[in-house]
Structure 1
Amino acid sequence: MKLRFLTSSSNSGSCPSLYETDSGDIVVQGDKLTDPEAISQLRNVLPGEDFVVVPRSLLESLK
């Protein structure tokens, strides 16, 4: 799988960041969601899935 860097909301270009795969999917790099109350509200969590917090401003930068 090849990744293409799309954007970051970090001044240093580290994370959070968004990438696009060669098949058009999006990969998110960021802080792992660790708040137990928030995690308890997630639905249909499958083995191996994880959750990353994405600032709204980062997604809006793709417009």
Structure 2
Amino acid sequence: MKIIRTVAAEDCPNGIDCARIYELDSGEILVRGYRVADPETLAELGPLPANETALIIPRDVYEEARKC
């Protein structure tokens, strides 16, 4: 699995801990965001398998990705 391009990225001052959406060489999409820690939100989602996590990304990153 290799990242081939950044599809969308949050504008952040340090350029390190920013939400991003990437395209992989497999054609899949990789999302880097902020882990959901709120217990009520996690309860609404229901049980997550051990290999999954819930992420939040800013709407502007999502909207930028939709344009691609």
Normalization by structure 2: what TM-score? 0.77
Matched, 1:10 2:11: yes
The two structures, once aligned, show a CA RMSD in angstroms of 1.6
Q: Distance in 2 between matches of 1:31 and 1:10?
A: 14
In the alignment, structure 2 segments of 5+ residues that lack a partner are: none
Deviations 1:30-62 (A, max 9, x none): 211100110001135212211110112111112
Q: Which one has a larger percent helix, Structure 1 or Structure 2?
A: 2
Q: Distance in 2 between matches of 1:24 and 1:44?
A: 27
Q: Distance in 2 between matches of 1:54 and 1:8?
A: 10
Aligned to 1:43: 46
In the alignment, structure 1 segments of 5+ residues that lack a partner are: none
Normalization by structure 1: what TM-score? 0.81
Identity value in percent: 35
If asked which structure has higher relative contact order (CA below 8 Å, sep 6+), I would say 2
